[in-house]
Chains A and B, each alone.
Chain A
C-alpha cells in the first residue's frame, strides 16, 4: 500500500476562516456579499459627493432663501421658487436659448466630428499629424481657449474682423458680442470648435472597429460609397454615435464657461442658457433658493432627454 493510497483519516480537519462577522466570504454562497463589500467604498464616495449635494439642492429649492446653509429644512418649505420660475419670461427665454443651442451646436458638432473622423480614418501621408490637429481644441483648457477667442473676435482690434474686412466679406468691423444674432453665432462657433474633437475621436474609435471584410463584401455586391456608408458604417457605429450624442447633448446643456466668458449671457439674454441663469441667480444675485429650483428643473430635463436617448439608441443597437 503506497503512502498515497492510505486512508486520510489521520489528517487534521481543514480550518475554515470565520471571515467578517462570522461570514465566510470565500464561500460561493456569500460571493455576492464580497462583491458588495468591495463596491461599498466607491458607492459611499459617490453618495457623498454626488447624491448629498443633489439632495441639498433639491431641499434648498423648496425654501425661499437668498443665502443657503448646509442645514436641511431650516426654514419653512414652499413652492414659491417654482411658482416664480414657471411664471418668469426670463426662464422660458432661457429654455428657448438652451434648446436652440442644443439643436444647432449638437448637429453641427456631430456633422463636423463625423466628417473629420471619416477623413482621418483614410490612409494618407501625415495622417497622425492630422489626427493630432483635430484633437488639439479638445486638449486646450476651456477657459484659456475661450479667452483667446474673445481676443480673436474683439470688435475693435480682433484678428477675425481684420480678416473679414481684408477679404471684403464685411464693410466694417462686426461687434460680435453686441447684437443678439452675432453673439449667438459666436457662441455656436466656439462651442462647435471646442466640442467636435471629442465626437471625432469617439467616432474614429468606432470606425476602426468595423471589420474590413464587410466593405469588401459590399463592394463585391456592387454597393457604392454612399450605400456602404449608410448600410455598413452607420449601423456599425450606431452604439458609439448614440453614446456620443447623449454626451454631447449633456455637455451643451450644462456648459457654462464658454458662454459666460464670451458673452455673459447677453446681449439682452440672447445667449442666456439655463446654466448661465443658475449661476447668475446663485452667485451674482444671491438667490440660492431660486437658483436651486432652476438647477433642479435643468436636472429633470437632462434626465428625461438622457432616458429617452438611451432607450432610442439601445433599440438602434439591438
Chain B
C-alpha cells in the first residue's frame, strides 16, 4: 500500500538519534510551555523558531522539534486547567469544566492521567487521519489555480475572523492590518520598494518572526505586569498517581467520538483547537444520559475536550500541508517557518519533498508515544513547574524572546521592531481585536497578492476570472458564509458556563505565587 511505503520513508527520516532527541526535547519543552498559563503553542513555537534558525537546523529537524512542542503544549495545557482551574492555553478552557472539580474531589492524579490518555488517543488517531487525508486532499489541490488560491486565502481570513472574534469589523481590521504589513518591502514583480520610507532595514520586508514574537510573547509580558496580584487561584494537592483503568475504559467511546469531531473541526481553516474541544464537550454532554453530572467532575467531560482539542491540532495540519492555508494560529506560525526554509506547502510538497511530509507525520507518531510515556510518570515534575514564581519566569521569557530575535540579525532594529509589535499586541488584545489574523496576514500577504496578480495576468485584467471555476465560486460562498454566519449563530449558540477563572493570560496566578 502507498501509505505504508510512505510511512516507512517517514520513519526512516524521523528515527535517527538526532531527531529522536529533538522530539524528546520538543515534547518536554512543549509540555512546560503548555503548563504555564497563557503561554500556548503559538507563543512557544514563536519563541523557539528564531533559535531553530540560528542553530541552522534543516527543515525536517526544525519541523520535528516544533511539532513536538506543538503537541506537547496541547498536552500541557490541560495540566494547569486541572490543577489550578486556569487553562494553560485557550483550547484547554473546556478542560477546566470537569477537570478541576475532579481534582478538588481528591482525584487530581486520575484527572491528569485521563487527560494524558485522551490527549494521546485524540492526537494519535488524528495523525492517522492526516496520513490518509492529506495525500487525497493534495490531489484535489492540483486543480487550484491562482484564482482558486486567492479565494482560498479569503476563506482562511473570513472563517478565522468570523469564528475567533466577536466583532466582524475587528476581525477584518486585524486581517487587513497583517496584509498591509506584508506589503512592506520590495515588490517582487517590479522590484520597486513599497512603504519602506527610504529605510534600508525595511527593504526585505518585516520578518514575520519579529511580528510573532512581539505580538504573542512580548504582549504577554505587558499583560503579566498589569494583572499581577489579581485573581488568585487555590491549587490542588496532587495525591498518588496511578492508572484509573475503570474511568479510561468507561471513556473509550467518548474519546473516539471527540476525536472525530475535533479532527474535522481542526481541518476547517481558521477554526482550530478551541472549536474542537468546545464541540466535543457540548456534543458529549448532549448525548449523555447523566447530563447533570457534567461540570461536577465527570471523567467523560474531561476526556471529550482533551481528545477533541488534540485531534483538532492534528486536523489543522491537513490544510496547512496540502494547501498552504493554516487552520489555526499555531499552524500559521509553522507555515511561516516552512516558507522561510524555502519549503512551500501545497500539493507539490507531497511529490517533491515526500521526506519532509512523511518525516513530519512519522515524527508526530513518535512525539505522541513519547508524550504519553513522558507524561504519566513525569506529571509531578510538570505540576511542580506551576510553582515557579512570576518574578523569575517573566524576565526569563522576555530575555529568551529578545535573544531569539537578536541572534537572527544582531541588530537593535529588529529588537525595537519586536517591541513595537509587543505594544501593538497589547493594545489589540485590550480592544479585543484578534491577533492571529494579523499574523496570518503577514504570512500570507505576499502569496495572496501574487495569486490575484497572476490571475489577472492569465485573464488579461478581467476580474470576473476570479469567479470562473466551480471551485472558486464554492470558496467565495464559503468565505462569505464563514464571515457572516457567526453573527447569527452567535445568538443561537451561547457558550456554556465558562469557568470561574476564564483568564487566558499566564499572569493571573503566577504573579501572586511569590
Q: Do A and B come from one complex?
A: no
Q: Which residues of B contact A (CB under 8 A)?
A: none
